[in-house]
Chains A and B, each alone.
Chain A
Amino acid sequence: AQKITQTQPGMFVQEKEAVTLDCTYDTSDPSYGLFWYKQPSSGEMIFLIYQGSYDQQNATEGRYSLNFQKARKSANLVISASQLGDSAMYFCAMKGLSTLTFGKGTMLLVSP
């Protein structure tokens, strides 16, 4: 069975600072993938970034990067230069054969 753990219920950061959102996972599959999604207050889920278990380099997408430490089973999301619009819920998810398993999320609040 796959499991995703996000231990930070909420995080505060000042505008323009970097922030790291934690995600640890557990799986017995040798091949897996990890996603991060953003959920603003409006409710839609927005795909941010993906990391495959065999990818040699950490994924990056603009201001988002994934700090992937396979031995520690962690896939932390790093947001550089936070903006007010980054305030939202953030979910880490693991890809199974056909489905995704989600963590409980971290609420990020960016202050001016």
Chain B
Amino acid sequence: DGGITQSPKYLFRKEGQNVTLSCEQNLNHDAMYWYRQDPGQGLRLIYYSQIVNDFQKGDIAEGYSVSREKKESFPLTVTSAQKNPTAFYLCASRITSGSYNEQFFGPGTRLTVL
């Protein structure tokens, strides 16, 4: 079964701790994305990567970091510098060749910082 997995589904952390959210895909997609969603809001782009070992900041990158060491994996670290990290985080991927290239999404991780 091809798809995107995000773990864990729910994550609780104390304020001031860094936390890493996992995103893995077996779709052989080139590009991967991280979004943040707050209640009643749309998705905002944090970081994205189109090839291994390269990534770009999105609209709200401050307080976050990423790595892309393997094509299948794009972990997101929420650092203590992120002022309001409690949110729903969605990972997505897409193939970069072909027609309209829709993004496929994982099930999301709900992060709560206490």
Contacts and interface: CB of A to CB of B under 8 A. Distances in A.
B45 A99 contact: yes
Contacts of A35: 100, 102
Given A43-B107, A44-B106, A95 B41 contact: no
B33 interface: yes
Contact of B42 (A44, A47, A103): A103
Contacts of A93: 43
Interface residues of B toward A: which range?
20 to 34
A47 B102 CA distance: 7
Contacts of A52: 100
A102 interface: yes
Interface string B85-114: 000101010000000111111111010000
B102 A44 contact: no
Most buried by A among B43, B88, B92, B103: B43
A47 B108 contact: no
A91 B40 CA distance: 11
A4 B41 CA distance: 13
Interface residues of A, number: 23
A11 interface: no
A105 B48 CA distance: 22
Contacts of B90: 43, 45
B40 A47 contact: no
A46 B3 CA distance: 12
A95 B108 contact: no
A50 interface: yes
B50 interface: yes
Given A102-B42, A104-B42, A47 B104 contact: yes
Given A44-B107, A44-B108, A99-B58, A91 B102 contact: no
B76 interface: no
A45 B90 CA distance: 9
Nearest to B101: A95
